[in-house]
Amino acid sequence: MGVQLQDTELVVMTLDEMEAIRLADYLGLYQEDAAAAMGVSRQTFGNIVSSARKKIADAIINGKAIKIEGGMVNYVRGDFLCKRCGFKWSNPSWEESQTICPNCKKDK
């Protein structure tokens, strides 16, 4: 809207919150699979994604800018495409168990 950032309220999201949104909402992973990709429990993942969604809603509803911060990150990505159902997902940890399609549960 042409408003300078210095005149806009900020909502601060952590890198964990951004990653949770990417896994759950952008990639469409189930919470159990997304939690495994992040190396946290399903309950912890649920808390992280809930917090992130609330911050995003606040920014959208109240016209605030979103700032993402949280320190240094090493990012390694493995992208997969299921030959059976066509589902695409990312496995940032390259774990062998994550080669099973989160959508159809087949190893293709």
Residue 9 has pLDDT above 80, yes or no: yes
20: in domain: yes
CATH number at residue 14: 1.10.10.10
Decide the pairing of beta strands 65-69 and 79-81.
Answer: unpaired
N-to-C CA span, the chain: 46
108: in domain: no
Q: Which two tokens stand for residue 52?
A: 């992130």
82: in domain: yes
104: in domain: no
**Can you spell out the DSSP letters for the chain?**
----GGGS-EEEEEHHHHHHHIIIIIS---HHHHHHHHTS-HHHHHHHHHHHHHHHHHHHHHT-EEEEE-S-------EEE-TTT--EEE-TT--GGGGS-TTT----
32: in domain: yes
Residue 73 domain boundaries:
5-99
Confidence at residue 72, expressed as pLDDT on a 0 to 100 scale? 62
| pLDDT tens digits for range 20-67 | 999 999 999 999 999 988 889 999 999 999 999 999 999 999 999 999
Domain count, the chain: 1
